[in-house]
Amino acid sequence: MAAFFIASPTRISVNLTAMNLQDWGWSPFFADQFDAWQRHGYLPARVIRGEKNYFRVWTEKGELTVRFAGKMRHRAGGRGDLPVVGDWVAVEPQPDERGQIHALLERKSSFARNLPGRRKGKGGGRVEQQVIAANVDLVLIVCGLDRDYNLRRIERYLTLVGGSGAEAVVLLNKADLCDDPEKCLAEVREIAGDSPVHSCMAKQPEQLNFLFDYLQPGRTLALLGSSGVGKSTILNGLLGEERQKIGEVSDAVGKGRHTTTHRELFLLPEGGILMDNPGMRELHLWGEEEDLAESFTDIEELATGCKFSDCAHKTEPGCTVRAAVDDGRLSASRLKNYHKLKDELANLQRRR
């Protein structure tokens, strides 16, 4: 209870006594809704992780494992009515660090995705939506200034964030890999409306100091962006001295990170709340399914020479993509990113 953890066994100590509701994002918007529940002696609680049948929540009295009060599960019609990470709920505390959820407070913002092929009602009707994260205040849209750079994708992200109720900041990372970052900055600013646009080099954490201007106690931050653009590097930069530990988590756990992450919302040492959950990590893939090829035109082009038309560019004979890596025309890390994204997409499809 004296520590919270991002992934076992890595633990980050925070001073719990110094934490209050506001640090966790509580604001008049939620307090106004809570009046009715306060009278019952319920606690405001923020969902830090959601499982199928239970939730981990943070309250002023510490972390609790909570379930639905029966009545409420019954009332919750669509999926949108069930709590997700980031939500504020009214919890009736029970012994042994447990509790019951009696109400879900209205969201300030939410990220949802359509569940393909699932339609409600007879003969289809509206497509069922799955809310995956709530009450994010600010999204850092991260884009690489290497081959990842793609104005159309940035546009899609901006639309997505715009519709969620959160604010967006665009980060053009890997400025060191771009001949003319100023040109890209100007192009993106043209499509970004009121959203600030920065270029940066996350590999040098001291270059990320400007991001602290966007962090405030109680403000919830999430990152969106393709695989390999530097999201983890940026997170680690923001986490300061905890950088190493988080790095170990992402390196050691790799794909398994999703199942071993114990908490998907945590406090940043400088103030602010960081959301890093599988739903948000996968969100980009839903937009990118169509443009995997578009993002990797070089690989798709090389692949036209492969012996097998369904070559996965892994162990197949006659693979021109791996040949290009061998003779230095294609970087191994780029092929690795391509594989990673393909695998994630395949995983997603399986789960659907």
The residue from 21, 136, 171, 229 that contacts ligand GTP (CB under 6 A) is 229
* Interaction of residue 131 with ligand GTP, rule CB under 6 A: no
For residues 34 and 28, what is the distance between their CA atoms, to the nearest angstrom? 9
Whichever of 110 and 227 has its CB closer to ligand GTP, that residue is 227
* Interaction of residue 82 with ligand GTP, rule CB under 6 A: no
Residue 176 binds which entry of ligand GTP, Zn ion, none, CB below 5-8 Å type-dependent: ligand GTP
The residue from 49, 108, 231, 322 that contacts ligand GTP (CB under 6 A) is 231
Which of these ranges, 20-28, 41-49, 76-84, 229-237, lies near ligand GTP under the rule CB under 6 A? 229-237
Q: How far apart are the first and last CA of the chain?
A: 36
Q: How far is CA 280 from CA 49, 218, 310, 333, in A?
A: 13, 19, 30, 23
Q: Return the half-sphere exposure (C-beta side, CA atoms, 13 A cut-off) of residue 343.
A: 12
Binding site listing for Zn(2+)? 306, 311, 313, 319
* Interaction of residue 277 with ligand GTP, rule CB under 6 A: no
Which of these ranges, 30-38, 72-80, 199-207, 298-306, lies near ligand GTP under the rule CB under 6 A? 199-207
Which of these ranges, 20-28, 67-75, 146-154, 314-322, lies near Zn ion under the rule CB under 5 A? 314-322
Give least dist CB 103 to ligand GTP, A: 34
Sheet holding 220-224, edge to edge: 197-199, 167-173, 138-144, 220-224, 273-275, 265-267
Whichever of 212 and 308 has its CB closer to Zn ion, that residue is 308
* Interaction of residue 225 with ligand GTP, rule CB under 6 A: yes
Residue 237 binds which entry of ligand GTP, Zn ion, none, CB below 5-8 Å type-dependent: none
Instruction: Give the contact letters, 107-146, x = binds to Zn ion (CB under 5 A), - = no.
Output: ----------------------------------------
The residue from 134, 275, 319, 341 that contacts Zn ion (CB under 5 A) is 319
Whichever of 45 and 321 has its CB closer to Zn ion, that residue is 321
Strand, coil or helix: 152: helix
Q: Which residues, 6 or more positions from 218, have their beta carbon under 8 angstroms from its beta carbon?
A: 22, 23, 24, 25, 26, 27, 271, 272, 273
Q: Return the half-sphere exposure (C-beta side, CA atoms, 13 A cut-off) of residue 28.
A: 0
Residue 321 binds which entry of Zn ion, ligand GTP, none, CB below 5-8 Å type-dependent: Zn ion
Residue 201 binds which entry of Zn ion, ligand GTP, none, CB below 5-8 Å type-dependent: ligand GTP
Contact 274, 238 (CB under 8 A): yes
For residues 164 and 110, what is the distance between their CA atoms, to the nearest angstrom? 5
Residue 231 binds which entry of Zn ion, ligand GTP, none, CB below 5-8 Å type-dependent: ligand GTP
- Is the bond preceding residue 93 a cis peptide, omega within 30 degrees? no
* Interaction of residue 174 with ligand GTP, rule CB under 6 A: yes
Alpha helices in the chain (DSSP H): 28-38, 70-75, 151-164, 181-191, 231-238, 243-253, 257-260, 278-288, 292-295, 297-303, 320-326, 332-351
| Burial degree of 160 (CB within 10 A; 0-12, 13-18, 19+) | buried
Q: Which two tokens stand for residue 244?
A: 């190493």
Q: Give the number of residues in contact with ligand GTP, rule: CB under 6 A.
A: 16
* Interaction of residue 85 with Zn ion, rule CB under 5 A: no
Give least dist CB 300 to Zn ion, A: 11
Q: How far is CA 307 from CA 52, 268, 318, in A?
A: 45, 50, 5
Whichever of 57 and 341 has its CB closer to ligand GTP, that residue is 341
* Interaction of residue 178 with ligand GTP, rule CB under 6 A: no
Binding site for ligand GTP (CB under 6 A): 173-174, 176-177, 201-203, 225, 227-233, 340
